[in-house]
Amino acid sequence: MRFEVLILGNSSATPVFERHPTAQIVNYNEQLFLIDCGEGTQMQLTRYGIKSNRIDHIFISHLHGDHYLGLVGLVSSMHLIGRKADLHIYGPAPLEEILTLHFKFSDTDIRYSIIYHCTNPDKEELIYTSRMMNISSFPLSHRIPCTGFRFDEGKRAASLKMDLIEQYAIPKPYFSALKKGIDYVDPSGKIYAASTLTTPGPRSRSYAFCSDTIRTSTYLSAIQQVDLLYHESTFLHEMQDRAKETFHTTALEAGEIAQEVNAQKLLLGHYSARYKSLTPLLEEARSVFPETELSTEGKWYLV
C-alpha cells in the first residue's frame, strides 16, 4: 500500500526563491487528498503530473491567503475540464460563503457538487473515515481559527502462510477472509484458525500536518507517535519573539515538538521569505531531533 506525501508548496506568506505557498498531496493507495491550496497550486499539480480530477477531498487549515487562495482557481478549472464527481472540501465554516460569493459574482455555475464539511477549531474531531483511512482535524493556535490534520491508516491485512495453505488445501476464495482474521471451516466442520494460517500485517502508519501555529502543548496529544510529522518552521530560533508575535514556530521548536511526541520523522516547511538558504533551519531542528528533513517541492516522502 502506497502512503506518501508530495510537497507542492512550502513557502510562508509570499512565493519566493522558487518556493510556493502551502499545498501538498497525500497519496494513499492511489487515492489522492489535497492539503491546503495556496496560490499556484493547480500549476504545481500540472508540473508534477497530478491530474486534479483525481482529487476528491481537499482539506484547508485556515483562511490566511497563502493557504487557500488557489482554491477558487482549482475548483473553477475542475469545472472547465468537465468534472462530474462530487468534491468534498473540509475547512473553516466561512469557506463556503467565500466560494459561493465568488461564483455568484463571476456568474459561474459549477456543474458538479461541492460538499462542505466544517472543521472545528476548538476540539479534535474525526472528519473522514473509510475502511483503510481515518482523518482527524485538531486545533492549532494561530491568529485566526486553524486546524491541523492527521491521517491514520486502518489495520493492514495479514499475510498468508502459503506452505500451510497448500498443506491444508485451503480453497483460494477463502484467502481474503483469512487475511481479515476469519477462520476457515472445511466441509467436514473442521476449523482452521486464521491466526495459525497467517502472520500479522505490518504496523499501521500515520501522517500529521501541522499548519500555522505558535508552540503550545494543546495539540501534542493529537500527534503522538506519528510516523511522519510535517510542522511549520517559519523562523530560526533567534527570531523567537517574532515567531510568538505572528503565532508561528521556530525550527528549534519544531524539532523539540517532534521529540516530545515521539515522531519517527520530521519535515520542516512554511519557510519565511527572509531565508534563501534553508540549511540553518535544518541544522537547528536536527540539533534536538536528528531525524529531520527539509521539505522540498516536487519530492515524495514515504510515510
The grid coordinates of residue 38 equal: 495556496
d(CA 220, CA 261): 6
pTM over 0.85? The answer is yes
Residue 216: is its pLDDT beyond 90?
Answer: yes
Grid-cell match 519544531, residue found: 254
Grid-cell match 515521539, residue found: 262
187 Cβ neighbours under 8 A, 6+ residues apart: none
Q: What are phi and psi of 86, to 5 degrees?
A: -60, 145
Angle CA(1)–CA(20)–CA(264) in degrees, nearest 5? 40
Residues 33-42: pLDDT tens digits? 999 999 999 9
Give CA 116 to chain center in angstroms: 18
22 Cβ neighbours under 8 A, 6+ residues apart: 9, 10, 11, 36, 38, 61, 66, 67, 211, 269, 270
Is the distance from CB of 15 to CB of 40 less than 8 angstroms? yes
The arithmetic mean of pLDDT across residues 46-74, rounded, is 97
Residues 245-287: pLDDT tens digits? 999 999 999 999 999 999 999 999 999 999 999 999 999 999 9
Is the distance from CB of 70 to CB of 9 less than 8 angstroms? no
Give the homologous superfamily in CATH for domain 3-156+202-302: Ribonuclease Z/Hydroxyacylglutathione hydrolase-like (3.60.15.10)
Is the distance from CB of 124 to CB of 138 less than 8 angstroms? yes
Q: What are phi and psi of 247, to 5 degrees?
A: 60, 50
Is the distance from CB of 269 to CB of 253 less than 8 angstroms? no
User: Tell me, what's the pLDDT at 12?
Assistant: 92
Residues 102-147: pLDDT tens digits? 999 999 999 999 999 999 999 999 999 998 999 999 999 999 999 9
d(CA 302, CA 28): 10
Instruction: From 39, 45, 52, 43, select the one nearest 7 (Cα to Cα).
Output: 45
Instruction: From 80, 88, 112, 114, select the one nearest 31 (Cα to Cα).
Output: 88
Residue 132 gets which letter from DSSP?
A: S
Residues 3-24: pLDDT tens digits? 999 999 999 988 888 899 999 9
- Which residue ranges does the chain devote to CATH 3.60.15.10? 3-156+202-302
As a whole-number percent, the residues of the chain with pLDDT over 90 amount to: 89
Binned at pLDDT 50, 70 and 90, residue 69 comes out as very high
- Using left for φ > 0, alpha for ψ between -120 and 50, and beta otherwise, residue 221 falls in alpha
Binned at pLDDT 50, 70 and 90, residue 202 comes out as confident
Query: Other CB atoms closer than 10 Å to residue 35's CB: what's the count?
Result: 26
d(CA 109, CA 303): 38
User: Tell me, what's the pLDDT at 157?
Assistant: 81
SS (H, E, C) 134-193: EEEEEECCCCCCCEEEEEEECCCCCEECHHHHHHCCCCHHHHHHHHCCCCEECCCCCEEC
Instruction: From 205, 208, 194, 199, select the one nearest 154 (Cα to Cα).
Output: 205
- Using left for φ > 0, alpha for ψ between -120 and 50, and beta otherwise, residue 287 falls in alpha
Q: Which residues are catalytic?
A: 66
Is the distance from CB of 90 to CB of 61 less than 8 angstroms? no
